[in-house]
Homo-oligomer: A and B are copies of this chain.
Amino acid sequence: MSKRNAVYAQSGGVTSVINASAYGMITAAREADFIGEVYAGLQGINGVLDENLIDLSREDPAAIEALRYTPAGAFGSCRIKLKDLDKDRAAFQRIVDVLAAHDVGYFFYNGGNDSMDTVDKLDQFAASHGYPLQVLGIPKTIDNDLPVTDNCPGFGSVAKYNTISMMEGSMDTESMYRDSTKVFVMETMGRHAGWIAASTGLASRSEEDGPHLILLPEVPFNPETFLTALGRQVEAHGFCAVTVSEGVQNEDGGFLSEQGTTDAFGHAQLGGAGVFIQDLVKGELGLKVHGAVLDYCQRSGRHLASGVDVEQAIACGAEAVRLAGEGLTGRMVVIQRDGNDPYRWSLGHTGAADIANKEKKLPPEFIREDGFHVTEAFRAYCLPLIQGEDYPPYQNGLPAYRRLGKELLPKRLPPIK
């Protein structure tokens, strides 16, 4: 059998360890006897549509090695989702044309639930149009909201980063509350599911430790109940540290971050759920409040990655190549939990269609009865995922993150109009 080439591409919001999956995939593909050259799409599926394929053989081997510890999307990611097969036929045809022009037989897509929709559809399209292609999904999302898989690469590191940030922010507030700030509010990512916000609950190892309250998208927000709970914490400890997910909604189903405020320019206010909670506490209770919004710093904070997460991210990338070698297509690698004490895991796979467009929310057994914190069951689930420190190497005081050369293959097709 003649070797055919492979394309790897990144999709959706990036993570601290998506490049570690790229590293795992590229390394395994170079060792696989059935794969020829390894290319990467520039800015996700855009790179295929535009025939912007990065020639990885031209990259400095040290830069490929550095993918292991370089955060964000080294090849560029994308936020486009292909439409249905019958509505976006031209786009799927173009993808197949570009892949055919470069004799690509393997497409590896590293992303979340939208990306697995693309994996599934591209697989169907190629099969029904007689183009021999294996399409494999590599899981990635800080949100941890993919079904089937026990957890998602990217989550362990964002959980570790946010938990430690909450720990540090809470300790800061505890130092200051006597004459100064009494409430610390930290907003986390997670628009639709509360996994990230919940993870900060690992920082509460005693009643004094923040977060004292966690606001989850799964629990409708009631201002009175919240302010009462907060008042009790300030009474008990002198201060209160609150984690709020950006996705928290009020009882009518509207996001806290879209409460119709306008800024000095008369535009809708960008300030999110965190600023809303800060304003509420300050306005209603008159307490001094400070707030942190870690935003992109949390999902690209590779300086504080989880060792388990890095290991799993690399393994998922390599496993996708192994699945290709077994002749599989339209599948995504999943992580299975084989035991909690000690934590053991292995890899499996599932149909990309089982993942596409689905969201796994926090189950009720992970949310404390009052809705303001997590349960022991959640801790048992989450704690193994933040184990181990995997520091990047440093150079002159800063992480030795690298940028790729991203030299493109010569184009073989006319551009699309």
Contact = CB atoms under 8 A, between A and B. Distances in A.
A332 interface: no
A164 B46 contact: no
A72 interface: yes
Nearest to A208: B403
Given A175-B72, A292-B293, A396-B387, A302 B168 contact: yes
Interface string A256-276: 000111111101011100011
Contacts of A46: 178-179
Given A297-B294, A398-B163, A271 B275 contact: yes
A300 B179 contact: no
Contacts of A167: 398-399, 401
Interface stretch (A86-94, A130-138, A279-287, A353-361): A279-287
Nearest to A176: B77
B14 A172 contact: yes
A388 interface: yes
A173 B79 CA distance: 12
B397 A383 contact: yes
A291 interface: yes
A184 interface: yes
B14 A73 contact: no
B398 A386 contact: yes
B386 A301 contact: no
B403 A175 contact: no
A295 B278 CA distance: 13
Interface string A383-408: 10011110100101111010100000
Interface string A76-114: 111110000000000000000000000000000000000
Contact of A300 (B72, B168, B178, B300): B168
Given A72-B174, A175-B73, A297 B265 contact: no
B171 A72 contact: yes
Contacts of A173: 296
Copies in the complex: 2
Given A165-B297, A396-B387, A397-B387, A175 B77 contact: yes
B300 A295 contact: no
Nearest to A162: B297
A140 interface: no
A401 B171 contact: yes
Contacts of A260: 264
Contacts of A301: 165, 168
Contacts of A293: 291-293, 295
A343 to B, nearest CB: 11
A389 B396 CA distance: 10
A42 B7 CA distance: 61
A249 interface: no
A270 B281 CA distance: 11
B292 A264 contact: no
Interface in A6-59: 10, 13-14, 43-44, 46
21 contacts: A43-B179, A44-B178, A46-B179, A71-B171, A72-B168, A72-B172, A73-B175, A78-B178, A79-B179, A80-B179, A167-B401, A168-B300, A261-B262, A261-B269, A263-B275, A267-B283, A271-B275, A292-B297, A294-B294, A294-B297, A383-B397
Query: What 4 pairs between A and B have smallest CB-CB spacing?
Result: A73-B175, A292-B295, A72-B171, A79-B179
Interface of A: 10, 13-14, 43-44, 46, 70-74, 76-80, 160, 163-165, 167-169, 171-176, 178-181, 184, 186, 202-203, 206, 208, 259-265, 267, 269-271, 275-276, 278-280, 282-284, 289-297, 299-304, 306, 383, 386-389, 391, 394, 396-399, 401, 403
